[in-house]
Amino acid sequence: MSEKLEYPINPSKIERSEAMTPTDIRIKSGNTEAVISPDMGGLVSVFSIDGENILYEDSEVYNDPNQRKTKSGIPVLFPYAGPRKGGIQHGGAREVPVWTWEDSTEDSVTLSLDSDHIKDIKLPSMVKGEKVGEFDGTITVKKIIDGEEKTETQDIVGKLEELYGLGYRFDFEMKITVSEGSLRYDFKIKNLSGKDMPFAPGLHPYFKVDHTKRSEIKTNLENFDLASSLNDNTQVAERPNDGRVFVTLPDETKIEIDSSPEFKKFVGYAETDESDYICIEPFVARPSSPEKDEIMIKYEETKELFVEFRVSKENK
């Protein structure tokens, strides 16, 4: 069973070992700061430069114990990004509080996810650090269908247990580090299944953008038309030859995305034309069918990947 933790921001080892319920971890380097929520699937809710958060924030998720999806921050999509056949959208690990806080320094934090922990996650749901009820293993998903908002319940724990708790065993480690103008993810996964294991992760950053100025976004991704109507549809671009992606937002914020070569697809997304964000998402595989491009990790093999977001101002 995964340890239940309750800790202040950047606690001592003693405070961490005596804790009971997860809240947030804050890391900082110079003018750059990030806030990570282990109980929200390792979500980075804040990535700020000189005190300005470049990520879109949406607090609605905290109002419902089982409404754990959030269109804000940077959700981690694991073990795969997209609607894998027989699975759930984006793997499900972002919706369940099963991450363990392994270590932290002033500028980094390391979280882990053990497949054996998925089977026992009846942890308290949180409202900004306050208990609001028990997480029952399901989430309520809101969808817009034919212009109307509808809801449905998904058995997140059951699907995770079926696909990645019983069918596969693994250790997954994620280290998040900040430096001046940079946020970096280092992923390490070891397959303990006794058979090959599929793996096609991604990140889903929501960058803050005034929707009326979305047409001013610039990028080096080919065939990317972010000025057109996205409206809950996605645009998919191939990884550039040099592996570096550039996006310039209307306020002259320049975002460079560097990643290991396994991240071959970049996805553009916004839920509606009025959404005040744009998602530029590094994926290992095509989101419509991740099983076609997924990485196969052999038994006892360890795979390491990284993604780094570097931010600067064009006029500085």
Rounded to whole angstroms, how far apart are CA atoms 245 and 250?
A: 17
pLDDT band (50, 70, 90) for residue 94? low
Query: Higher pLDDT residue, 169 or 280?
Result: 280
Place of tokens 């998925």: 118
Predicted model pTM? 0.79
pLDDT band (50, 70, 90) for residue 60? low
Query: What residues does each domain of the chain span?
Result: 13-313
HSE of 23, CA atoms in CB hemisphere, 13 A: 15
Mean local confidence (pLDDT), 59-82: 66
pLDDT band (50, 70, 90) for residue 126? very low
What's residue 122's pLDDT? 43
Which range in 37-41, 117-121, 159-163, 184-188 is most confidently predicted, on average pLDDT?
A: 184-188
Q: What is the architecture, at CATH level 2, of domain 13-313?
A: Distorted Sandwich (2.70)
Structure tokens at 285: 């595989």
What's residue 269's pLDDT? 87
Q: Which amino acid is at 95?
A: E
CA distances from 231 to 9, 132, 150, 162, 248 (A): 37, 33, 16, 32, 21
Rounded to whole angstroms, how far apart are CA atoms 158 and 162?
A: 6
Mean local confidence (pLDDT), 59-77: 64
Three-state secondary-structure class, residue 293: coil
pLDDT tens digits along 177-210? 999 999 999 999 999 888 888 888 899 999 999 9
Structure tokens at 159: 């699907």
Contact between residue 116 and residue 165 where contact means Cβ atoms under 8 Å apart: yes
Structure tokens at 23: 């809240």
Give yes or no for residue 59 having a pLDDT over 70. no
What's residue 253's pLDDT? 94
Q: Please provide the size of the chain in residues.
A: 316
